[in-house]
Amino acid sequence: MKTRVLDGVAIAGEIKAEVAREVVAAREAGYTPGLAVVLVGDVPASQIYVRSKVKTCGELGIYSEMHTPDASITTEELLELIASLNARDEIDGILIQLPLPKHVDTERLLEAVVPEKDVDGFHPINAGRLLSGAPDAQVLAPCTPAGIMEVLRRSDIPVSGKRAVVIGRSNIVGKPIAAMLINASATVTVCHSRTQGLAEIAREADILVAAIGRAGFVTPEMVKPGATLIDVGINRLTDAAEVEKFFPNNEARREGFLKRGSTVIGDIDPAAFALSGAYTPVPGGVGALTIAMLMSNTVKAAKMRRSGK
């Protein structure tokens, strides 16, 4: 059985090209989609990620601006900032980079973003629309799960009538991807750290989504031969013994580890990929889709606001 690698970078490129064409059409219609990003404090990983988002906006022709309040800012002051962005017509999407400082009320802040500008898809109204099965054109869905569905669709992997298992129940990935798969007529089981008989359940999956945040958690014994494996995890290995365990005799990984002191692995043991019919690699898989779907959501939000939907 031949195993397919689902190239997230290539699929993200397709989506970005489509978004760029939509931006041109929007400008011809008299407006430019706009995204505001709020980055609180000096978290290096968040700064890198936000810069990548802003850079991608520039490449695709989307207007963007970054707001960088100090880590000492209060919840009330942030709410004032969000209110001002809600009121500006040229801003179609508002993204609050997580995590926020511990003293900030994250839930209150996320819910302060008006649903029509919630390009992260975290607002309860958008979550409710997703769960209710509203038409795709009317839903701003979380970016990573939306990217997973694009990988499946663009790779011609059947979903309707298939058995899907999601490992992980977060509001960011696990719950929304379960809802999306249900909406696509899959039969879905959601597993988590307290699930009994998890390995047996996972072995029944035609589509297995791993989003639990544990390096190499899904082992070959948990995989049905021929299944599609979607690896959402991004975990960093800093122990040489673990690198050798998961990547035996892999010179490229070993050299990369010696150079950087770490290497990245997903939630699926790479040894399990050989059993699959198709899989997303880490890196180069689902992670590449997240920013592309953010751009797509920004253009969608701009259209929805101007069409009155």
**What pLDDT does residue 90 have?**
96
**Marked catalytic residue, from 53, 175, 300, 303:** 53
Flag whether 9 is in a domain.
no
**Marked catalytic residue, from 92, 118, 120, 206:** 120
**What pLDDT does residue 42 have?**
87
Residues contributing to the annotated binding site for NADP(+): 168-170, 234
Quick one: 183 and 55 in the same domain?
no
CATH label of the domain that carries residue 189: 3.40.50.720
**Marked catalytic residue, from 97, 117, 175, 269:** 97
HSE at residue 293, side-chain half, CA atoms within 13 A, is: 24
For the chain, 309 residues long, give each residue's pLDDT as a single digit of tens: 689 999 999 999 999 999 999 999 999 999 999 999 999 998 888 888 899 999 999 999 999 999 999 999 999 999 999 999 999 999 999 999 999 999 999 999 999 999 999 999 999 999 999 999 999 888 999 999 999 999 999 999 999 999 999 999 999 999 999 999 999 999 999 999 899 999 999 999 999 999 999 999 999 999 999 999 999 999 999 999 999 999 999 999 999 999 999 999 999 999 999 999 999 999 999 999 999 999 999 999 999 998 865
Quick one: 98 and 149 in the same domain?
no
**What pLDDT does residue 156 have?**
98
Flag whether 92 is in a domain.
yes
Quick one: 246 and 151 in the same domain?
yes
Tokens for 14, please give them: 């397709």
Quick one: 80 and 210 in the same domain?
no
**What pLDDT does residue 309 have?**
52
- 42 catalytic? Reply is no
The number of folded domains in the chain is: 2
Quick one: 107 and 147 in the same domain?
no
What does the radius of gyration of the chain's CA atoms come to, in whole angstroms? 20
Quick one: 187 and 278 in the same domain?
yes
CATH label of the domain that carries residue 60: 3.40.50.10860
DSSP state of 115: G
**What pLDDT does residue 308 have?**
67
Which run of H or of E encompasses 306? Answer: helix 287-307
Quick one: 280 and 168 in the same domain?
yes
Quick one: 82 and 157 in the same domain?
no
Quick one: 282 and 152 in the same domain?
yes
Q: What angle do CA 54, 134, 163 make, to 5 degrees?
A: 95
Q: Which domain holds residue 260?
A: 143-289
**What pLDDT does residue 123 have?**
96
Which run of H or of E encompasses 27? Answer: helix 8-28
Flag whether 23 is in a domain.
no
- 120 catalytic? Reply is yes
Flag whether 282 is in a domain.
yes
Residues contributing to the annotated binding site: 168-170, 234
Tokens for 240, please give them: 């040489």
